[in-house]
Amino acid sequence: MSDFFSSTVGLLVAGVTLFSIVMCGVLLWVQASKKLKVSLDVKSNSTGHVWDEDLQELNNPMPRWWMGLFYITIVFAFAYLFFFPGLGTYQGKSEWSSQGQYLAERKMVEERAAPLFAKFEGLKVEEIAHMPEAKAMGERLFLNNCAQCHCSDARGGRGFPNLTDADWLYGGTGEAIQVSIVEGRNGIMPPMIAAVGSDENARAVAQYVLSLSGRANDPLKAQLGRKIFGEACVACHGADGKGNQAIGAPNLSDRTWLHGGTERSIVETIKNGRQGHMPSHKQILNADQIRVVSSYVWQMSNTGNR
């Protein structure tokens, strides 16, 4: 309930909740206090509802044990709402919250795991990567926190980087990998159709980009595209197309493609741009866990081991 923008809404929710519980009690009391003339004669005490020819619904009062249970649930509801959150913005006497419980449980787990991570203290990511215990721990951390985007084998997919090769947008050192995990990354390729001038020019640039990695291309269009590339693209990708890891600009001279390396996909990138987001994990993993999972990622592209 902490996401209410106005305290009035919280008061309204609390009021409706309490009113509903009270009215349940009132309804039960009214119905229980109404005296019924119960007759032993089934016919005179029948409501008129009959099933299967002779199964009749009788107008008998509710059992007292059932009423007692109902009153107990009402008392329990008031007690629960007093101790726990449920009345608008009121946090309850216990001040319990799911977030607080999660943080407490997480702290307990981290304290129990601290001795396991202590042996890696003071070591560089590249050194930790050669330790079998760290590899096993890093793999579990990776599968739980990274595989959703990069896949369980870390080879990624369209729009999600392959972490097992030597192609890195922001650098593949242990330190660079840690920064990516801690701070996250925001890669932005703006739409460049205005800069290149037309769809035809975009296709020419695509042909030139294909030529940078030695792929089949139209030489005449590539020559025109080279001039346009020099005017519109070198600021990020460099004159040789090898990119810039400082800003996450991809290397266009290799054969690794994040969004596809066909002329069609390259033209689409030029016209519409691309946006990539790697979320920060510093609120999800602690410093020790980040170092271990960084070592796991580093070793996959440097030792060829899984």
Angle at which helix 199-212 crosses helix 219-232, to 10 degrees, equals 100
Chain region(s) in the chain for CATH 1.10.760.10? 107-184+279-302, 188-278
| Separation in Å, CA 159 to CA 155, 222, 255, 259, 283 | 11, 26, 15, 5, 24
Confidence of residue 179 (pLDDT cuts 50, 70, 90): very high
In the predicted structure, residue 296 carries a pLDDT above the cut 70: yes
Share of the chain above pLDDT 70, in %: 93
Query: Quick one: pLDDT at residue 161?
Result: 93
Q: Which CATH architecture has domain 107-184+279-302?
A: Orthogonal Bundle (1.10)
Under CATH, what is the fold of the domain 188-278?
A: Cytochrome Bc1 Complex; Chain D, domain 2 (1.10.760)
Residue 51, classed as helix, strand or coil, is strand
Interval 18-75: pLDDT, tens = 999 999 999 888 877 766 565 555 566 677 778 887 788 777 777 888 889 999 999 9
Classify residue 259 as exposed, middle or buried by CB count within 10 Å of its CB (0-12, 13-18, 19+). Answer: middle
Query: Quick one: pLDDT at residue 116?
Result: 86
User: The pTM is what?
Assistant: 0.69
Interval 103-122: pLDDT, tens = 899 889 888 888 888 888 88
Interval 235-251: pLDDT, tens = 999 999 999 999 999 99
Nearest to 154, CA basis, from 286, 301, 12, 5:
301
Interval 255-284: pLDDT, tens = 899 998 899 999 999 999 999 999 999 999
Query: Quick one: pLDDT at residue 46?
Result: 74
- CA–CA dist 34, 285 (Å, integer): 62
CA 154 to centroid of chain Cα atoms: 18
